[in-house]
């Protein structure tokens, strides 16, 4: 009955210790005959036993330990260089593991798939943090680096996400999210937000894999654009609509703050007209009711004597109008006229800067009307990554960060967890 409860093949239970306040200790051994030397094949002789205590799954609400009495053998051939060796049984535990194989696969799913914290699992098993984390890394890396986790990618996305803040001055270190924006799958995470690591990642995928990519989404990032120009020259680059509209809102806010300082001589106070209308300025025009529009125009008349903020507000709405229809020729005509109008020297400096950006990214902006793909799935994956970071209370090791994020958002084939070999 004890052997049935332990549920390990070819294992004999030799004793159970149930001391109060201590984990349950189940003593086991394997009923094997004399093995042959793995190097020369000569029958080995028994030398002694090593007692290995492994963390196992809980029993009846109490932590459990599997105490494995492993046989140590010595080769009878005096010329053999093997000398001694210890029996191995991967179904109980892998080499140099402090946790049983079944417990290692269980904690990998709990931490990776369920996004539970390592400390929570360690408390449940009655072991230390490193025992659980090392197991997650060894099983998790084998699962996320499995070749069949993802195949060909039709729409490829890059975006930055904060990795860690280090030191007393909270120096920020970023990472780059590599995503399949059609399937919403996290492909990988590489350190930094420059183009070097994404370029190396794409180089390792091979030319045939890169040739299948049709669309590349990005958020008006120069380094990521250079990556696509070099590694995916045949793919069509698509500027993310959200970031284009966000840029227009940013320029509007910059203009409002500049005019505020020029007219009032200080930053916005709660009774200043331009400060009072800051929320209404960024709101979509069609979402303003009559009362809101009347309030906005009245505050602009009171706080914008030269009409610069008003002009930038109209420019922001015109940029939003690029995405108001699906007709690419009409959008091209719209953006061409918009770029020409924004280049007028009478416009505020923020509007002219916005026009220059639209000119540099015109083809990428127009490509959305053909592809209708965006960096939205990449941003959604960043939210999943941030959830993992919150669960872990942050990361300092990039290896831990990468494995945990890919287990949660990389769509590993969890059906293979029972068959993979830990690294």
Is residue 289, in this structure, part of any structural domain at all? yes
- The CATH number for 197's domain is 3.30.420
Is residue 423, in this structure, part of any structural domain at all? no
Q: Is the pLDDT of residue 297 over 90?
A: yes
Tell me, yes or no, whether 47 and 191 share the same domain.
Answer: no
Q: How far from the centroid of its chain's Cα atoms is residue 33's Cα? A: 49
Tell me, yes or no, whether 138 and 152 share the same domain.
Answer: no
Closest to 161 (Cα-Cα) out of 133, 127, 193, 185:
193
Q: Which single residue is written with the structure tokens 């706080």?
A: 303
What pLDDT score does 128 carry?
95
Q: Is the pLDDT of residue 5 over 90?
A: no
Mean pLDDT within 13-41 = 86
Tell me, yes or no, whether 254 and 234 share the same domain.
Answer: no
Helix (H) or strand (E) holding 111: helix 101-112
Tell me, yes or no, whether 195 and 304 share the same domain.
Answer: no
Tell me the two tokens of residue 145.
């680096």
What pLDDT score does 34 carry?
75
Domain boundary among the residues 354, 371, 388 is at 371
Model confidence over 90-143: pLDDT tens digits? 889 988 899 999 999 999 999 999 999 999 999 999 999 999 999 999 999 999
Is residue 245, in this structure, part of any structural domain at all? yes
Could you give the C-alpha distances from 14 to 7, 29, 55, 64, 94, in angstroms and in order?
14, 7, 18, 15, 21
Number of domains in the chain: 3
Model confidence over 212-237: pLDDT tens digits? 999 999 999 999 999 999 999 999 99
Tell me, yes or no, whether 160 and 55 share the same domain.
Answer: no
Tell me the two tokens of residue 160.
């930055």
Q: What's the whole-number average pLDDT of the chain?
A: 93
Of 42-51, 205-214, 316-325, give the lowest mean pLDDT range. Answer: 42-51
Model confidence over 314-365: pLDDT tens digits? 999 999 999 988 899 999 999 999 999 999 999 999 999 999 999 999 999 9
Closest to 189 (Cα-Cα) out of 422, 413, 397:
397
Tell me, yes or no, whether 68 and 90 share the same domain.
Answer: yes
Tell me, yes or no, whether 259 and 234 share the same domain.
Answer: no
Phi then psi for residue 99, to 5 deg, are -140, 150
Tell me, yes or no, whether 122 and 84 share the same domain.
Answer: yes
Tell me, yes or no, whether 71 and 177 share the same domain.
Answer: no
Tell me, yes or no, whether 55 and 70 share the same domain.
Answer: yes
Residue 370: CB atoms within 10 A of its CB come to 12
Domain that holds residue 364: 241-371
Partner residues linked to 17 by β-bridges: 25
What pLDDT score does 47 carry?
84
Model confidence over 262-282: pLDDT tens digits? 999 999 999 999 999 999 999
Mean pLDDT within 177-189 = 97
Domain boundary among the residues 116, 144, 172 is at 144
């Amino acid at each position: 009955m004890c052997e049935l409860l332990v549920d390990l093949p070819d294992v004999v239970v030799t004793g159970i210790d149930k001391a109060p306040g201590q984990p349950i200790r189940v003593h086991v051994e394997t009923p094997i005959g004399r093995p042959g030397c793995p190097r020369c094949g000569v029958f080995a002789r028994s030398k002694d036993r090593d007692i290995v205590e492994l963390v196992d799954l809980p029993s009846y609400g109490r932590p459990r330990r599997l105490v494995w009495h492993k046989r140590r053998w010595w080769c009878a051939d005096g010329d053999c260089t093997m000398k001694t060796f210890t029996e191995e049984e991967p179904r109980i535990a892998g080499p140099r593991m402090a946790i049983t194989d079944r417990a290692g696969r269980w904690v990998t799913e709990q931490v990776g798939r369920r996004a539970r914290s390592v400390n929570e699992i360690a408390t449940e098993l009655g072991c230390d943090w490193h025992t659980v984390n090392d197991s997650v890394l060894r099983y998790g890396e084998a699962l996320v680096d499995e070749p069949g986790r993802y195949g060909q990618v039709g729409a490829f996305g890059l975006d930055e996400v904060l990795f860690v803040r280090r030191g007393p001055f909270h120096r920020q270190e970023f990472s780059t999210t590599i995503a399949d924006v059609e399937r919403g799958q996290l492909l990988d995470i590489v350190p930094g937000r420059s183009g070097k690591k994404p370029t190396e990642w794409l180089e390792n995928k091979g030319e045939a894999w890169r040739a299948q990519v049709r669309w590349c989404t990005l958020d008006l990032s120069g380094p990521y654009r250079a990556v696509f120009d070099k590694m995916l020259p045949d793919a069509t680059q698509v500027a993310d609509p959200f970031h284009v509209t966000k840029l227009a809102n940013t320029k509007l806010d910059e203009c409002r703050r500049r005019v505020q300082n020029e007219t009032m001589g200080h930053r916005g106070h709660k009774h200043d007209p331009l400060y009072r209308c800051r929320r209404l300025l960024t709101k979509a025009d069609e979402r303003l009711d009559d009362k809101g529009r009347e309030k906005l125009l009245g505050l602009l008349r009171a706080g914008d004597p030269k009409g610069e903020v008003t002009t930038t507000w109209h420019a922001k709405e015109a940029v939003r109008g690029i995405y108001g229809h699906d007709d690419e020729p009409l959008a091209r005509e719209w953006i061409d006229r918009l770029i020409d109008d924004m280049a007028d020297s009478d416009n505020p400096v923020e509007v002219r800067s916005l026009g220059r950006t639209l000119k540099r990214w015109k083809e990428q902006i127009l490509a959305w009307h053909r592809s209708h793909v965006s960096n939205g799935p990449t941003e959604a994956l960043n939210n999943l990554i941030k959830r993992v970071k919150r669960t872990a209370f942050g990361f300092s090791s990039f290896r831990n960060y990468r494995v945990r994020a890919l287990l949660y958002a990389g769509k590993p084939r969890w059906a293979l967890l029972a068959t993979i070999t830990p690294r």
